[in-house]
Amino acid sequence: MDLNTQNCCIVLTRVSTNQQDYTAQVDDLTNWANSLGFTNIKVISTKESGFKTFDLKEGFKQVVDFISCNKEYKTILVTELSRLSRRQTVLFQIKQYLVDNKIQLFVKDISFSLFDANGMSNFATDIIFNTFASMTEHEMNTKKVRFRRELDSLQAKGISITGKELFGYRREYDETIRKNRFVINEHEANEIRTIYNWYLYGIDGDKTKCNMKDINIACISKGFSRYLHSKRNVTKALGERAYIGHKITNNWQKNTEYWSYGDKTKEKYVRSHTSISYPRILSDELFNSVQEKKLRNNTTADKCNKHITLLSKLIKCPMCGLYLGGNYRYINGYVAHSYRCTRRQMAINCSFKGTYSMALLDSAIWCYIKGDITNLVDKMQRYYRSVSTNSINKEIENLKNKINELENDKRHEVNIYRVMSKSDENKAYIEFCDKVSLINNEIEILKNKISDKAKLIERIELNRRTNNERDLKKEIQNIENDKSELKKYINLFVKEINILYNSVSYLVLNVSIIKDVIKSTIKIDSMEIDTFNPYYNTYIIIDKHDNNRIKMRCISGDICKFENDCFVINRYNIFLNEIFTTSCIDTNGNLQRRNRELNNEEIRFFCSLNEVNYRRLNVYNNE
């Protein structure tokens, strides 16, 4: 059958956006079809992205549906391959459909036909099609990269900045470069400078009023811009780096490959980092002073309300030195919580991508602490004797004062509502209810804290009256079932943890342990207690060959060092597998080794090696 002599054909055109027009394509292809002798011409035109997957291509679906009802149409005309698709894989799928159904394809710009005059496809045709299909995808990908690079370059110069207008700025069209740029909104910029000075020096010079909440209320009462009527926006403005002329974004964006083009193998969201220049509103000195004060006011306590991370603020990242944070997740119902660097997803991120089992580390540290039960009981007794219930009562009084302040805030919101309702009663009422609801929630949280503090006083008084070791051992069992108590005691014993070695088989920790009691105090749970100082280092070695039978050993001694994946003691190397060999330990629990050069004489290193009974914490078994 001669496919070229058919008088019926389909003219297929496509443009990507609604702003584009395909009339020129239709006219050009129709004239070409007439010159080829086609008289019955069906025009199918669509406006859709050329990157959509085969299943989502509405234009080609229309072609398939039309051909299924009109068998005489056996030819398709397009101006170029990209009108079919810009994806190489999709073009191959379309080609396979055409070959299977013996449908001719003419591509005008490259004078290409899928079948020859005898209705046959050959090797040369396949090569041409594959080559131009590859070029079609590569060409558009190159354009996308070039466009992204040009956009990044413009934004780095403060030109053509996309997204919402940042508070403090407004967009203005620059005739010289024919693009938008941000310029300072002087009214909003003055409000920004004001709240920065309020945070440093107090509202109207009153240094007792310089927190976020007071600033938020002042912004409302003084009629500042609506944006600053939100405490969240005030907090955001007090940390916005754009105000000193430059920022690097760290955003998650929808991946067009997944959402627009239907490629479900791609990630739903991708992280973007863009360098953007802005007109300067603040001096570096003012901005940095506010950031330093925010950092001083920021507590180092673990703030997670959902989880209590036992070793937070204790384990340091081996690459950047920041503390590792908790990553909580379950895999197929199994607890897979881990520690990982908190800087791994920041704009300037850490290259360390390692993770450590949270259950393993937490259990190992607690088993080590509990291994010396006499020392643990002794420190528990000292702890309860050193805790000042007066300070807890003072904390309760402070919480009650905060509740009174929140009650005053509610009355203040009533006054604001009375003023705002005169202009728009419905809107003012909705905002009033939202703010009062938030205040009531804060009050409820404070009341719960007061209840917890009262229970803590009762517990302290009870344990002060407990002097025998048996009862305190029973208390240890209660501690192991309560993460908040575990965290408290771990912080009493451990100053810092460094991970020296980690493999499938072994884990080596260097733990700085609090050794003795001296007269100084620290605050834990707002209670003043004696600190235990100075510190000494110990090595914890964990054998992970069998997850059901984890083994632990601890090495103490000033002459011991861990270098190049082994312990170095008096110039002798002790490898990790030897640590768990009984022949390497003498009757006094010291490391020893036989040296063939010295007639098998035993060399004792006088470095204490203790076996620790490892047991997974109940808090993880219960999960």
pLDDT tens profile 483-520: 888 887 788 788 899 999 998 899 999 988 876 543 34
Per residue in 39-61, pLDDT tens? 999 999 988 888 888 888 888 99
Contact 87, 137 (CB under 8 A): yes
- For 558-567, the CB contacts below 8 A with 24+ separation are 559/605, 559/606, 559/607, 560/605, 560/607, 562/500, 562/501, 562/508, 562/510, 565/501, 567/539
Please give the CATH superfamily to which domain 169-298 belongs: Putative Large Serine Recombinase; Chain B, Domain 2 (3.90.1750.20)
- Every domain range in the chain assigned CATH 3.90.1750.20: 169-298
Per residue in 206-251, pLDDT tens? 877 888 888 988 999 899 999 999 888 999 999 999 999 888 777 6
Q: CATH classification of 3-143, choosing from 3.40.50.300, 3.40.50.1390, 3.40.600.10, 3.30.390.50?
A: 3.40.50.1390
| pTM for the whole structure | 0.43
What's the pLDDT at 464? 63
Q: Is 55 helix (H, G, I), strand (E, B) or coil?
A: helix
- What average pLDDT does this structure show over 277-287? 92
Residue 226 DSSP symbol: G
524 has pLDDT over 60: no
Q: Which residues does 296 contact at the CB level (< 8 Å), separation at least 6? A: none
- What average pLDDT does this structure show over 184-208? 91
- Every domain range in the chain assigned CATH 3.40.50.1390: 3-143
What ranges in 173-297 are assigned the alpha helix state H?
A: 186-201, 212-221, 231-237, 256-259, 284-297
602 φ, ψ (degrees, to nearest 5): -75, 130
Residues written for the chain: 623
Residue 585 CB coordination number (10 Å): 18
Tokens of 40: 């019955």
Q: Tell me which amino acid residue 175 is.
A: E
Average model confidence (pLDDT) across the chain:
80
